[in-house]
Structure 1
C-alpha cells in the first residue's frame, strides 16, 4: 500500500481527498452532535414546563386541602411521561407525595449531561383562592437515561447522515479526479513510456480531452518530442561530422611538419605531435618530464621573452610570435625557430613552432649583401650607417666609452685608373682593403663609402700613441709598391683624417665632416700622411 501511495498518483490523490473529507466531515459531525444535544435538552425542559402547567391547578387544590391521594394521582400521571424520572410535592409542614420511576438514575452513556440543574424543575404552587399565597412546592427530575438515549438517537442519525454525505461527496470527487484527470494522465504516461524514438511517433489525444488542458498538454508534448528528436538528429549528425573532422585533424596533427602542442600558462607542455619532438631533437622513448619541460629548457636563454609571450597569450589574449636561435641535438646544432602562442581555454595555450633556419639564413645573406661592398667584401655605406647606429646604442648602454673615426682617401688612385684601367683599379681597392683588415683588430670596423674612400672605426683606444701607430701602419702599408699580372709596378698613398667621439649623443654626419676636414689637411700638407682633427 505504501508503495502504491509513492508510485500511483491515482491512489495518492484518492487517499488525500478521502482523508481531507473524513477529517472535515468528522469536525462538522461532532459539532452537529453537540448542537443537537443542546437543542434536545431545551425541548425536554420546555415539555416539562408544559406538563407542570397542565397539572398546576390540580396540585394547587391538593396542596390547599392537604390531600395526599390527589397529589399522588397527579404525580403518577406525571410519571407516565417517559422523560420524567421523579415527582415530589411538598409544603413546609409535610411531604404530600414523592414518587420515583427508578430508585436511582445512573448517568452513563456517550453523551454527558453534566449540567443537570438546567433540567431540574422546581416550581412553587399558589392557593387557588389567593394567587399570591404559596401553599406548596413541586419538583420534577428528568429521566436522564431516557433523555440521553433520545439525544443520542437524534444526534447519531444526523451525524451519520453528515458522514455519509461527506463520503458520497468524497467518492464523487475521487471519481471525477480519477476519470477526468488522473486516468487520462496515467494513460498518457503509459503511452509515453512505450513511445518509440521515431520522428513520426506521437501521443494520441485521449478521448474527451481534445479541447481541454490535457489535450493541450498532449499536443505540447508531441511538439516538444518532435523538436527534441530533430535536435537529437542534428546532434548525431554534428557528432558524426565532428568525428570525421577529428580524424582529419588527427592526421594533420600527426603528419604536419609544424610542431603543434598544448601547454599550461607556466610553460609546461601538456601534449605535442611528432614534429615538435623532431624539431627539439626529443627521442621517441623520452621521459614524460623531458617533454613537459622541453620548451622551458630549450629557451632557457630567452626566459624573459618567453615569459612575456606566455603572459600576453594568457591574460591579454593576444597571439604572441617570436623568433629564437637555439641549439639542439648531439652534437649541438644551431637552429632558428618561430614560436607562436595563443590562448585556447581555462589557462591552456596552443603553440606552433616552425624551423625557420633556412629562411633566416637567406635573410641574413640578403642583409649581408645589402651592407657589404660587392667588390672588396667589406662594409659599404649602408653597413657603415648601421654600424654607427649600433655604436650609438652601445654608448648609451655603457658598453662603449669612445671611438676614433678614420677617413682614408687613396692618393694617386685616379691616375692608376686612367693609366692601367678600371680592372687594375679594382684590384688596388681589394688589395688595400686586405691591408686594412690585417692592420686593425677584429672588433674594429672597416667600410668603403666611396670610390677610393674608406672609413675605419677604432673602439676603446685610450692611448694616443696606439692610435698613431695604427695610422702610421695604414699610411706606410698604402705607400708600398704593388704589382699585378701584366701590369707595371703601381704606387699609391693614403691620406688619413682622424676624429675622436666620446659622447653617446653624436651625429655621424658631423663626425664625417670633422674627419674629412682633417684628411683635407693631410692632403694639403703633402699627402700620404694623417692628421687628427682639432676643434
Structure 2
C-alpha cells in the first residue's frame, strides 16, 4: 500500500528503508486511534493511515492530490483553513468540524507543525466525536426547553426576546409581547389532579401554535404563565392577536382521564416595544402590569396599558 509513502517517492522510500520496516511503520500508524495524517502547507496529504483514507474516501493513488478540506462539510471549511494557518504560525492548533464523506460526522482535529529539510508540514489526528456532540446538543436543548411543553423555558425565551429587541431597535421595526396567565389554574390541579393540569398546559401551547405565525415565539415563563414574542407587530395588531389567543384558549377542551372534559380561560397582558424602553425587562414589566389589570378586571380578558377587552 502507498498510504505511508507518496507514489512519486516510492523508489526513494524503498531504498531508504527495508520493506519490512515500511510495513511495520504502516502497521503502527494504522493502529493509531482515529485518523492520522501529515499534510503540506497547502493541506495536501503527504502521509496518512487507513482511518484518514476512509475519512476522505479517496483511493491510494489519489490521496497525494487530495486535501483535508475536500472531506470537510462546506460550511466548516473556514475552520480547517484557520486550523492550518494557526498551526503554521503558532506550532499547534485544534478544532472541531463536520466530515461530509459518507455520513456527516463530527471530528476533533489537531495540527502540529514540524519542519523537515527546510519544509513545513502539519502532523495531525482526527478523532470521531459525533456521539459527544449529539449528547452536548441534547443537553443544550434540555437546558433551553421546558420539558413538559417542549417550548423555550424562561431563560431561553428572555434570550430570544433580547435578540428581537436588538433587531427591532437596529431596523426601527415594531414588536410586541403577550403575557398569558391561565385563570384559576390551581382549581384544575386541585379538583382533577396534576395530570389534567399538565394536559391543560400542553393544550394551551397547542392552541397557540395553531394561531400564531412561525416567527412568533411562545415560551413558558413559569407555572401557568406564558410569554409570546410577536415580531413585526404593532400595538393594534398585538391586541387583535391577543384576543384571538384568548378566545381559542376559552374554546379549547381538555379531556379528563375518566371521561368528560374541562375548559379554562386565560388573561392576557399586551406590551409593545417603545424606543424609550432601555431593555426587554421594561417591555416585560409593562406586559406584567397589563396582565395584572386583566386579572383585576375579571379574568378572561386582554389588557394593555390603558385598554382592556373582555369576552
TM-score (norm 1): 0.48
Q: 468, 477, 493: which one pairs with 2:239?
A: 468
User: What is the CA-CA distance between 1:392 and the residue it aligns to?
Assistant: 6.2
* Deviation of the 1:277 alpha carbon: 2.4
1:53-452 residue pairs with structure 2 within 5 A?
A: 250-280=26-56, 282-284=57-59, 287-288=62-63, 292-296=66-70, 298-317=72-91, 319-329=92-102, 333-345=103-115, 346-388=119-161, 390-391=163-164, 401-452=173-224
| Structure 2 CA distance for partners of 1:252 and 1:388, relative to 1, 3 Å | farther
From 246, 253, 256, the equivalent of 1:484 is: 256
Q: 8 Å contact 1:299–1:306 — kept in the other structure?
A: no
CA contact (8 A) 1:378 1:447 kept: yes
Alpha-carbon shift at residue 373 of structure 1 (Å): 1.5
Higher helix share: 1
Name the structure 2 match of 1:522: 294
Distance 2:162 2:68 in 1: 37
The two structures, once aligned, show a CA RMSD in angstroms of: 3.2
8 Å CA contact retained: 1:392, 1:504: no
Number of the residue aligned with 1:45: none
SS of structure 1 residue aligned to 2:214: coil
Unaligned runs of 5+ in 2: 1-19, 307-311
| CA gap 1:467/1:260 in 2 versus in 1, 3 angstroms | same
TM-aligned CA distance change 1:457 to 1:349, over 3 Å = same
Between 1:429-438 and 1:386-395, the stretch displaced more is 386-395
CA distance in 1, matches of 2:166, 2:40: 36
Q: Which secondary structure state, in structure 1, belongs to the residue aligned with residue 100 of structure 2?
A: strand
CA offset digits 1:453-505 (Å, max 9, x no partner):
011112233x5554334222210111115232315432311111122236699
Aligned to 1:509: 281
Cα distance change on mapping 1:465 and 1:500 into 2, 3 Å: closer
Provide the rounded CA distance (Å) in 2 between the counterparts of 1:322 and 1:447.
Answer: 34
TM-score (norm 2): 0.78
SS at match of 1:404: strand
Q: 1:459 to 1:252 in 2, by over 3 A?
A: farther
- Paired with 2:270 and 2:53, the residues of 1 have a C-alpha distance of 55
1:312-348 CA distance string (max 9 Å, x none): 211122x32222235332xxx3322222222122321
Consecutive unaligned residues in structure 1, runs of 5 or more: 1-242
Alpha-carbon offset, residue 260 of structure 1: 1.2
Deviation at 1:353, TM superposition (A): 1.6
* Cα distance in 1 for residues equivalent to 2:136 and 2:162: 20
**What does residue 234 of structure 1 align with?**
none
Contact 2:113 2:120 in 1 (8 A): yes
Q: Which residue is 1:168 aligned to?
A: none
Q: Is the 8 A contact 1:324 1:336 kept in 2?
A: yes
- Whichever of the two has the greater Rg, that structure is 1
Report the Cα distance in structure 2 between the residues aligned to 1:453 and 1:465, rounded to whole angstroms: 23
The answer to whether the 8 A contact 1:255-1:275 is kept is: no
What is the number of residues matched between the two proteins? 284
